[in-house]
Structure 1
């Protein structure tokens, strides 16, 4: 006997990725509040007369009704939940980076409301005119790792459990956490105790601290991402070389 389809009504979602499917349909990857990331078939949405044409786009809060059976859900209805975010320029590129992180690090049908919440908050902050992007990205990276069970050790030294000293410099080891250096030792990934404490408290502001936090978070993310690099990082490097 085949499994009955689960009916999901007006679920808050964000569209992470879409690609053409057959003549006029699309395959979507969406992030939902209650069901995690889902693969969705949107039938006929690329057709000229489709009511969904122009509605299904990234970074716009949506409400979707779905029929869920097996690996893929089928879209049965969709509507806007709020106006589009209005992202542009570097903020838009940063938002695509967030999408790629979620697509690479989450599993389908693994409920994680905290990822949805962190993503929604980050998009709102990125859309603020003249907002500093780096603190927004660092907070999201940290919260994503926490939500997936890979949270950073930031408040205690990894080997002794002693509280982090803001006056000391540590060697941050992604597999373990911050390790206090002995006399004469060099750190592969040096980070000040003050930066670790600021990252733990979500109050990074100064440029040196943001740079250290970026390196710590990148190393921790790379540990989970494996050998395949993020496309958004490659594009950014290519743009900077121009």
Structure 2
């Protein structure tokens, strides 16, 4: 966390805009995901003023180079420019991009740098833009985000016995410990093959995809403390 009394000045850090909202008459409040400083909050003074304002540059999914200065939690954006080619997301991919951004806003602590996660995010956006398997892109990002936060899933061994996960066995995933063998009629059980597929980043069959999605929703809901995601609601309302 930054020292509330210390002045901060950062020049041209690589960044992505996660969220923005209007502030007063001409300014914006921003949340950026930056390479060297993690998730940060900034005020962009006068960004909405006239054609020369920064608002057209400050768009989601666009690589940026950002500079800021100030004291305490909320510094002031002093400069922003394009940091690479625009990433254009359309239709379902656009909602998936909003979902990635909301996960970062909700789960990533402020001022906690994760350069490797920035690269994972960049790769995920490229996959969404290219129209690759969207479900697979989301699952890989979710797993990487949890790993960076120290909440990585245990996907290789039974949490009670230490035995290797068996593809044909049914398991329940306990967030505090990991997978344990489930009763055959347990409605939330999933196959060991799904745990191993998540470990390997494979989503070859409809069953693997369905069970992987169900597991990740369960785990993420725990860390989101049960609060719903607005991006999911936005997607449901658009269909």
TM-score (norm 1): 0.92
Cα offsets for 1:149-197 (capped at 9, x unmatched): 111110111111111111222122233221113xx55334211111111
Distance in 2 (CA, whole Å) between partners of 1:190 and 1:6 is: 50
What is the SS of the residue equivalent to 1:124? Answer: helix
The answer on 1:171 being equivalent to 2:172 is yes
Partner residue of 1:71 out of 57, 70, 73? 73
Kept after mapping to 1: 8 A contact 2:197/2:203:
yes
Kept after mapping to 1: 8 A contact 2:17/2:62:
yes
Kept after mapping to 2: 8 A contact 1:154/1:197:
yes
The answer on 1:235 being equivalent to 2:237 is no
Kept after mapping to 2: 8 A contact 1:115/1:144:
yes
Distance in 1 (CA, whole Å) between partners of 2:151 and 2:187 is: 21
Distance in 2 (CA, whole Å) between partners of 1:147 and 1:238 is: 31
1:85 aligned partner:
87
Shift of 1:63: 0.4
Shift of 1:114: 2.8
Partner residue of 1:106 out of 105, 108, 112? 108
Distance in 1 (CA, whole Å) between partners of 2:230 and 2:55 is: 27
Shift of 1:42: 0.6
TM-score (norm 2): 0.93
Kept after mapping to 1: 8 A contact 2:46/2:53:
no
1:201 aligned partner:
200
- The unaligned stretches of length 5 or more in structure 2 are none
> Which aligned pairs between 1:185-200 and structure 2 lie closer than 5 A?
186-200=185-199
1:148 aligned partner:
149
The answer on 1:35 being equivalent to 2:37 is yes
Kept after mapping to 2: 8 A contact 1:122/1:137:
yes
What is the SS of the residue equivalent to 2:160? Answer: coil
- Answer with 169-178 or 132-141: which moved more: 169-178
Cα offsets for 1:62-100 (capped at 9, x unmatched): 000111420112111111011210111000010001111
What is the SS of the residue equivalent to 1:203? Answer: coil
2:8 aligned partner:
6
The answer on 1:118 being equivalent to 2:120 is yes
1:210 aligned partner:
209
Kept after mapping to 2: 8 A contact 1:85/1:123:
yes
Q: Give runs of ≥4 in structure 1 deviating > 6 Å.
A: none
Kept after mapping to 2: 8 A contact 1:168/1:192:
yes
Distance in 1 (CA, whole Å) between partners of 2:201 and 2:76 is: 39
